[in-house]
Amino acid sequence: MRAMVLEEFDTPLVLREIEKPAPGPGQVLVKVKASGVNPLDAKIRAGRAPHAERTPPAVLGLDMAGVVEEVGIGVHDFVTGDEVFGMTGGVGDAQGSLAEYAAVDARLLARKPASLTLREAAALPLVFITSWEGLVDRAQVHAGQKVLIHGGAGGIGHVAVQIARARGAEVFATASPSRLEVVESLGATPIDYTTTPVNEYMTKYTGGEGFDVIFDTVGGTVLDASFTAARTYTGHVVSALGWGTHALAPLSFRGATYSGIFTLLPLLTGRGREHHGDIMREAAALADAGALKPMLDPRRFALTDIAAAHEAVESGAAQGKIVVDID
């Protein structure tokens, strides 16, 4: 089969003919139709993601959607011909989705939502799992809460806004001036972070009490600011990028709490993979209920265009998720 192979960090991926995998026990062989591109994919290629534990030569690509071609021993939830999607590889020792076929752990998969195309489905896994783990697993977002999403027009953020709204929360989201309309179109109250200080919008929208849940998708100083905007006693801050050194005093003085997310753990350790499959089924249910729609960049990329796809992600100019057509 054809695959784009990382032969050495910080070099372009190379088109190679490699052996087509066979599904082992608990696996399914998927004919990959589309591969979602995330900033993490580009960081892995550049050798700037040691937490992903990837060693060349390797096939990258975390997210995928495709069609089941063969079912391994012990798999009963899928049959040949099923359209599926999930975050299935590209880190650790798991083959990624930038290949014509992938043998993947069936526990990581769900059937593609009927309301989405394969391209749209491939855009969802990493960003939806990250958002769900933060907002639902950690913060248990529910109706009546005021939820603040930092980076509400981004890959994770635009999905997080939709999840929080689907669970009945009143949602506010920060964005740059050019992306405020996107946030508003998703049903959130837009906040221009370039002109409005945290204390100002916290006072305006919460009367100074703070937000019930704050989901940080940016990290750094944005996470520091989040600690000052959490609701006293009951506020909860969740971050997908809480990797730096941060002062917890502002959070402690408000009696609030913090959770971190590391979405790659089930792929790296093998533990909790069933839960990722469960989360993908939640994504499919929300999409088919009309409550979830990924934003896709209109540009089309083929398998051999992966360098341009990575560049589009790294530039920050993408208007939605970048998806590579494999088939």
Single-letter residue type at 251: L
For residues 88 and 284, give the distance between their C-alpha atoms in angstroms, rounded to a whole number: 16
For residue range 112-163, list pLDDT tens digits in order: 999 999 999 999 999 999 999 999 999 999 999 999 999 999 999 999 999 9
What's this model's pTM, rounded to 2 decimal places? 0.97
Give me the pLDDT at residue 62, please: 98
For residue range 223-269, list pLDDT tens digits in order: 999 999 999 999 999 999 888 889 999 999 999 999 999 999 999 99
Q: What's the rounded mean pLDDT across residues 168-183?
A: 96
Confidence band of 284 (pLDDT split at 50, 70, 90) = very high
For residues 87 and 122, give the distance between their C-alpha atoms in angstroms, rounded to a whole number: 9
Q: What's the rounded mean pLDDT across residues 76-100?
A: 97
Confidence band of 197 (pLDDT split at 50, 70, 90) = very high
Give me the pLDDT at residue 327, please: 80
Bridge partners (DSSP) of residue 16 are 3
Q: Are 34 and 84 in contact (CB under 8 A)?
A: no
Sign of the CA dihedral running 295, 284, 273, 93: negative
Q: What's the rounded mean pLDDT across residues 20-24?
A: 97
Give me the pLDDT at residue 140, please: 98
CA angle 136, 138, 140 (to 5 degrees): 45
Give me the pLDDT at residue 318, please: 83
DSSP output for 256-310: -EEEE--TTHHHHHSTTHHHHHHHHHHHHHHHHTTS----B-S--EEGGGHHHHH
- Residue 215, pLDDT above cutoff 90: yes
Q: What's the rounded mean pLDDT across residues 39-46?
A: 95
Task: Please report which helix (H) or strand (E) contains residue 102, including its range.
Answer: strand 101-105
Cα torsion for 297, 196, 184, 149, to the nearest 10°?
Answer: 70
Q: What's the rounded mean pLDDT across residues 31-40?
A: 97
Single-letter residue type at 193: Y
Give me the pLDDT at residue 58, please: 97
Cβ-in-10-Å burial (0-12, 13-18, 19+) of 245 comes to exposed
Contacts (Cβ under 8 Å, ≥6 apart) of 85? 63, 64, 65, 66, 109, 110, 112, 118, 121, 122, 124, 125, 280
For residue range 50-83, list pLDDT tens digits in order: 999 999 999 999 999 999 999 999 999 999 999 9
Give me the pLDDT at residue 244, please: 84
For residue range 287-322, list pLDDT tens digits in order: 999 999 999 999 999 999 999 999 999 988 788 999
